[in-house]
C-alpha cells in the first residue's frame, strides 16, 4: 500500500509540480514542504482560475488536507502572512490546516538586501537568483547565526541576536557593496508586527508528521525547485541553496530516514531554466521561441523570461538516479503539438568530438558539451486536454515510449494542459 509519496522536479524547476501536487492532494491527508522558500512559484489552474503558491503547500485548495511548512524551509514571516491573506481572499481557510515548524530559519530583510546587492555586484557572472534572500538565509543557518521561527517567542533573545546579525550584514552592505545600512530597530518593529499571527500557526511539525505516519495517513512531500538546482547534485554554482532532491525530505521534516513508498519525478516534455548556468540543449531559434510563447515560459515568482530547449534524457536519467524515482510525470506535451520534428538529447560529445560518458562536475567542463540528439516525428495535432492515453496521436505515444525505454522508468502521469482535468493517469498512485 502506498501511504507516502514524494513529488520532485527533475529539471531546473517549474516542471509543473504544483499542478500535480494539487491533483494528487484529493486523496491525501497531509502535504508537506520541506526545503526552499518563497523562491518557489507553484501554479494551479482550476476551471481557468489560476492560483500561484510560493510557500504554502499546493494541497491547500482541497479543504480537508493538512498543510505543513517543515523544518527545512526558510520563511519570511511578512511574506507568509501576505500569502495567507491572499488565499483567504479566495475563501480558503487555513484555520487548523496550515502549520509552520518552529525550526524554520527566518528570512530577514538583511538576507534580501544582501542577495540583491551581490547579484548586482557580480554583474554578468551573477547566479540570477530570485532575490528573495534564500541563499543568505541558508548561509546563516549553517553558520549557526540564524534566527528561527520559534525564537519569536523570546523577545529578549530575539532582539539581542538580531542586533548581532545587523552588525554583520550592515558592515557588508556598507564596506563591500557600497549600500546604506539598514536600521535594526526598523527591522525589529516590522517583524514583531507579524509575531502573533505567525506564532498562532507555529508548532512542532515533526510530531504531527510522526503521528500521521504511525496512523498510516497519506502524505505528499512537495519538492520545490528541481534536481538540477540541488546544492550538491545540481549545476553548481548555478543552483539554489537547499537539497532539492528527495534527500531534503529526511533533513527537512524531522521524520528521520524512512522508506518513501513512491517517488514521482516531474519533467517537462522540453526543458526550461530561469537564471544563469549550464543548459546544454538550450535553443536560440524559432523553436525555442515557440516553447517560450506557447508554453508561457515566464517565471511565476520573478516574471523573468525562462530559457528554453529540448528535453535532455541524460540529465533526466541522472535526476532519476539521485532521487530513486519510481515513476515519471511528463508535463506540457501539448506545447509540442505543432512541431514537425522533436529532438531528444541522448548523449554528449565534447567540442573536439570525444564521447562524454560522465556528467561534468566543474562549470568549465559544462561549456565543452555538445548534445547528441535523436530526432522523432512530431504529431501535428492538438493534445490539449486529452485525458486518455489511447486518444493521443501515435507519434505522441512513441515519444512517451522512447523516454520510458531510455530511462527505464514508466511514465505514470501525462499532463496535457494547465488545468487539473487536463491529465492522463496511467497508474493510480494512491
Ligand atoms: P512548478 O514550479 O513546478 O509548480 O511549475 P510552475 O507553476 O512554475 O510552471 C508550470 C507552468 O506550466 C504553470 O503555468 C502551469 O499552469 C503550466 N502547466 C502545467 N502543466 C501543464 C501542461 O501540461 N500544459 C500546459 N500548457 N501548461 C501546463
Ligand atoms: P519552483 O519551485 C525555477 C533558480 C533561480 C536561480 C537559482 C538560485 O517554482 O520550481 P535562489 O533565489 O533560489 O537563490 O536562486 O535557482 N530558482 C528557480 N528556478 N523554479 C524555481 O522554483 C526556482 N527557485 C529558484 O532562478 O537560477
Ligand atoms: Mg515554479
Contact 41, 274 (CB under 8 A): no
Burial class (CB in 10 A: 0-12, 13-18, 19+), 50: exposed
pLDDT of residue 295: 98
Query: Residues of 206-236 as b/e, b for ≥16 C-beta within 10 angstroms?
Result: bebbbebbeeebbbbbbbbbbbbbbbebbbe
Q: Which atom of ligand 1 is found nearest the CA of 15?
A: 3
| HSE (side-chain half, CA atoms, 13 Å) at 73 | 31
Q: Residue 319 is inside which H or E element, if any?
A: helix 313-323
Contact 306, 275 (CB under 8 A): no
DSSP string over 176-205: TT------HHHHHHHHHHTHHHHHHHEE-H
C-alpha cell at 222: 512537495
Q: Which ligand is nearest to the CA of 224?
A: 2
Domain boundaries, the chain: 4-95+204-425, 105-200
Q: In which residue are the cell numbers 545587523 written?
A: 166
What residue ranges line ligand 1, CB within 6 angstroms? 9, 13-19, 41-43, 45, 296, 300, 331-332, 334-335, 415-418
Closest residue to atom 16 of ligand 1, CA basis: 418
Range list of H helices, 215-260 = 247-252
Taking alpha carbons only, the member of 312, 321, 331 closest to residue 372 is: 312
Residue 295 CB neighbours (<10 A): 20
Residue 182 CB neighbours (<10 A): 17
Whether 352 sits among the annotated catalytic residues: the reply is no
pLDDT of residue 364: 84
Q: Residue 323 is inside which H or E element, if any?
A: helix 313-323
Q: Which atom of ligand 2 is found nearest the CA of 302?
A: 26
pLDDT of residue 357: 73
pLDDT of residue 210: 96
Closest residue to atom 6 of ligand 2, CA basis: 129
Handedness of CA 265, 271, 277, 279 (dihedral sign): positive
To the nearest 10 degrees (0 to 180), the angle between helices 184-193 and 109-122 is 120
pLDDT of residue 430: 86
If you count them, how many residues does the chain have? 430
Handedness of CA 222, 228, 229, 234 (dihedral sign): positive
Beta-carbon contacts of residue 318 (< 8 Å; ≥ 6 apart): 227, 233, 359
pLDDT in tens, the chain (430 residues): 999 999 999 999 999 999 999 999 999 999 999 999 999 999 999 999 999 999 999 999 999 999 999 999 999 999 999 999 999 999 999 999 999 999 999 999 999 999 999 999 999 889 999 999 999 999 999 999 999 999 999 999 999 999 999 999 999 999 999 999 999 999 999 999 999 999 999 999 999 999 999 999 999 999 999 999 999 999 999 999 999 999 999 999 999 888 999 999 999 999 999 999 999 999 999 999 999 999 999 988 889 999 999 999 999 999 999 999 999 999 999 999 999 999 999 999 987 777 787 788 788 888 888 999 999 999 999 999 999 999 999 999 999 999 999 999 999 999 999 999 999 999 999 8
CA of 274 to the centre of ligand 3 (A): 10
CATH number of 105-200: 1.10.300.10
Whether 54 sits among the annotated catalytic residues: the reply is no
Contact 7, 226 (CB under 8 A): no
Q: In which residue are the cell numbers 512542532 written?
A: 204
Contact 41, 31 (CB under 8 A): no
Closest residue to atom 6 of ligand 1, CA basis: 14
Q: Which of 14, 230, 334, 412 is catalytic?
A: 14
Choose the residue to mutate in 44, 54, 72, 274 for probing ligand 2, maximizing ligand atoms within 8 Å of C-beta.
274
CA of 15 to the centre of ligand 3 (A): 7
CA of 319 to the centre of ligand 2 (A): 17
Q: Which ligand is nearest to the CA of 273?
A: 2
Q: In which residue are the cell numbers 505515444 written?
A: 397
**Does domain 4-95+204-425 correspond to CATH entry 3.40.440.10?**
yes
Contact 187, 110 (CB under 8 A): yes
Q: Which ligand is nearest to the CA of 15?
A: 1
Handedness of CA 25, 33, 95, 108 (dihedral sign): negative
Q: Which of 22, 42, 140, 422 is catalytic?
A: 42
Burial class (CB in 10 A: 0-12, 13-18, 19+), 345: buried
Contact 32, 221 (CB under 8 A): yes
Burial class (CB in 10 A: 0-12, 13-18, 19+), 405: exposed
**Cα 53 to Cα 44: distance, rounded to the nearest angstrom:** 8
**Cα 152 to Cα 87: distance, rounded to the nearest angstrom:** 24
Amino acid at each position: 500500500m502506498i501511504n507516502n509519496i514524494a513529488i520532485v522536479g527533475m529539471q531546473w524547476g517549474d516542471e509543473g509540480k504544483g499542478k500535480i501536487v494539487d491533483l494528487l492532494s484529493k486523496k491525501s491527508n497531509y502535504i508537506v514542504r520541506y526545503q526552499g522558500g518563497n523562491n518557489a512559484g507553484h501554479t494551479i489552474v482550476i476551471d481557468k482560475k489560476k492560483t500561484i503558491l510560493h510557500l504554502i503547500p499546493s494541497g491547500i485548495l482541497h479543504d480537508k488536507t493538512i498543510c505543513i511548512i517543515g523544518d527545512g524551509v526558510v520563511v519570511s514571516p511578512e511574506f507568509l502572512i501576505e500569502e495567507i491573506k491572499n488565499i483567504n481572499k479566495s475563501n480558503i481557510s487555513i484555520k487548523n490546516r496550515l502549520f509552520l515548524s518552529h525550526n524554520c530559519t527566518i528570512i530577514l530583510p538583511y538576507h534580501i538586501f544582501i542577495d540583491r546587492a551581490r547579484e548586482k555586484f557580480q554583474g554578468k557572472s551573477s547566479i540570477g537568483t530570485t532575490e528573495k534572500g534564500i541563499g543568505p538565509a541558508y548561509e546563516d543557518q549553517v553558520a549557526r547565526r540564524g534566527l528561527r521561527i520559534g525564537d519569536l517567542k523570546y523577545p529578549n533573545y530575539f532582539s539581542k541576536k538580531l542586533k548581532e546579525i545587523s552588525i554583520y550584514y550592515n558592515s557588508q552592505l556598507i564596506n563591500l557593496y557600497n549600500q546604506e545600512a539598514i536600521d535594526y530597530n526598523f527591522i525589529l518593529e516590522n517583524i514583531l508586527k507579524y509575531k502573533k499571527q505567525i506564532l498562532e500557526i507555529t508548532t512542532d511539525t515533526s510530531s504531527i508528521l510522526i503521528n500521521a505516519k504511525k496512523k498510516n495517513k497519506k502524505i505528499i512531500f512537495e519538492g520545490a525547485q528541481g534536481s538540477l538546482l540541488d546544492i550538491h547534485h545540481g549545476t553548481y554554482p548555478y543552483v539554489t541553496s537547499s537539497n532539492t532532491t528527495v534527500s531534503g525530505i529526511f533533513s527537512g521534516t524531522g521524520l528521520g530516514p524512512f522508506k518513501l513508498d513512491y517517488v514521482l519525478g516531474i519533467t517537462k516534455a522540453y526543458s526550461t531554466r530561469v537564471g544563469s548556468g549550464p543548459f546544454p540543449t538550450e535553443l536560440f531559434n524559432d523553436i525555442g521561441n515557440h516553447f517560450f510563447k506557447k508554453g508561457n515560459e515566464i517565471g511565476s515568482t520573478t516574471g523573468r523570461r525562462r530559457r528554453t530547449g529540448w528535453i535532455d534524457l541524460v540529465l533526466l536519467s541522472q535526476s532519476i538516479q539521485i532521487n530513486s524515482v519510481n515513476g515519471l510525470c511528463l508535463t506540457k506535451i501539448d506545447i509540442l503539438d505543432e512541431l514537425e520534428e522533436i529532438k531528444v538529447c541522448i548523449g554528449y560529445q565534447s567540442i573536439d568530438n570525444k564521447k562524454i560518458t560522465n556528467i561534468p562536475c566543474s562549470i568549465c567542463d559544462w561549456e565543452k558539451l555538445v548534445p547528441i540528439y535523436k530526432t522523432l516525428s512530431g504529431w501535428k495535432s492538438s493534445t490539449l486536454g486529452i485525458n486518455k492515453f489511447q486518444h493521443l496521436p501515435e507519434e505522441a505515444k512513441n515519444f512517451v515510449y522512447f523516454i520510458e525505454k531510455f530511462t527505464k522508468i514508466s511514465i505514470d502521469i501525462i499532463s496535457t494542459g494547465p488545468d487539473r482535468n487536463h491529465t492522463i493517469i496511467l497508474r493510480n498512485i494512491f
